[in-house]
Structure 1
Amino acid sequence: MNWTRPLHHQTPSQERRSMLFGRSKKRGDPLQERIDCLIGADASIQGDLVFTGGLRIDGRITGDVAVARIDAGTLTIGDQGCIEGDVRVSHVIVYGEIRGTVYATGLVDVRPNARIWGDVHYGSLEMQAGALIEGHLIKHRPVGSTQ
């Protein structure tokens, strides 16, 4: 069973603003398509977790979280969600907290009350007022890039 989010239609000014910040809303982008798996607020998992598609975590994970194919996987960490371990994904949206290193080839979206204790390797970064990152920010460079 797939849980899908309704597609939100943007006004032209919202679309331009999104594109200015490197976040164009394209159809087929795994960042906005769906949530394939949900880990509820009362769930607690000890051990590494590998997923495909979209994963939302509202509970606690003690272990690394990674996407099976780095080009297609979005992780959303809810307000009460917590990961104690490294995260390796294409896109991550953080409302809760991460205690470990984040490796994201695409977007790292850090929402107002989010907390990250660890380095963040990112393709693009969006950080809202009130969010906290306690660690280094390292821009991911595509293979063959000179800068």
Structure 2
Amino acid sequence: MFFNRKKQPAIRSLIGEGTQVHGELRFDAGLRIDGEVLGDVVATEPTSLLVISENARVQGKVMAGHVIINGQVQGPVVATALLELQPKARIVGDVHYEALEMHQGATIDGVMKHVSGGEAEVERPLLKLAAANEG
């Protein structure tokens, strides 16, 4: 019955409760945040796992393959595979996901957008063409 489920990567890094990190955080495999991060949290592997626990806070972009949130995120969230929002999840920012599991009580203040496959991995920048210089 669980044969189709892929094995999740091991959580090899932890930001403990009472710890505050300033700046961008890059990780592969698995990361659990119990403290506070002021900056972006970005996975370098598409099969990564990110857990933001009940007492955790992140102010910045969150991007990983499988994202589990039960804390607070202020910023955009991109889950290239699965986004799990547990009952105490609070997100203020836009959410991009391929698959979504949302428990009763979780809240999102932003736009939710379903993306398929690799679309969620790269945010496409808005292109602006410069006007020709008349002279």
Distance 2:106 2:89 in 1: 5
Query: Which aligned segments of 4 or more residues in structure 1 are displaced greater than 2 angstroms?
Result: 141-144
Larger radius of gyration: 2
Alignment of 1:125-144 (within 5 A): 125-142=100-117
Tell me the secondary structure at the aligned position of residue 106 of structure 1.
strand
- Aligned CA distance change for structure 1 residues 122 and 42 (closer, same or farther; 3 Å): same
**1:124 maps to 2:122:** no
Distance 2:75 2:17 in 1: 20
Deviates more, 1:81-90 or 1:134-143: 134-143
Output the TM-score relative to the length of structure 2: 0.82
Distance 2:118 2:27 in 1: 25
> Gapped runs of 5+ residues in structure 2?
120-135
**1:46 maps to 2:26:** no
AA of the residue aligned to 1:34: A
2:55 matched residue in structure 1: 80
Q: Does the CA-based 8 Å contact 2:80-2:118 persist in structure 1?
A: no
Deviations 1:74-128 (A, max 9, x none): 1000111110000111110001011000111110000001101111000100000
Alignment of 1:1-147 (within 5 A): 12=1, 25-26=5-6, 28=7, 30=8, 33-69=9-45, 71-142=46-117
**Aligned residue-pair number:** 119
Distance 1:106 1:112 in 2: 20
Output the TM-score relative to the length of structure 1: 0.76
RMSD: 1.8
- Aligned CA distance change for structure 1 residues 36 and 138 (closer, same or farther; 3 Å): same
> Gapped runs of 5+ residues in structure 1?
1-11
Tell me the secondary structure at the aligned position of residue 5 of structure 2.
coil
Seq. identity, %: 39
Distance 2:27 2:118 in 1: 25
Tell me the secondary structure at the aligned position of residue 56 of structure 1.
strand
Distance 2:94 2:14 in 1: 26
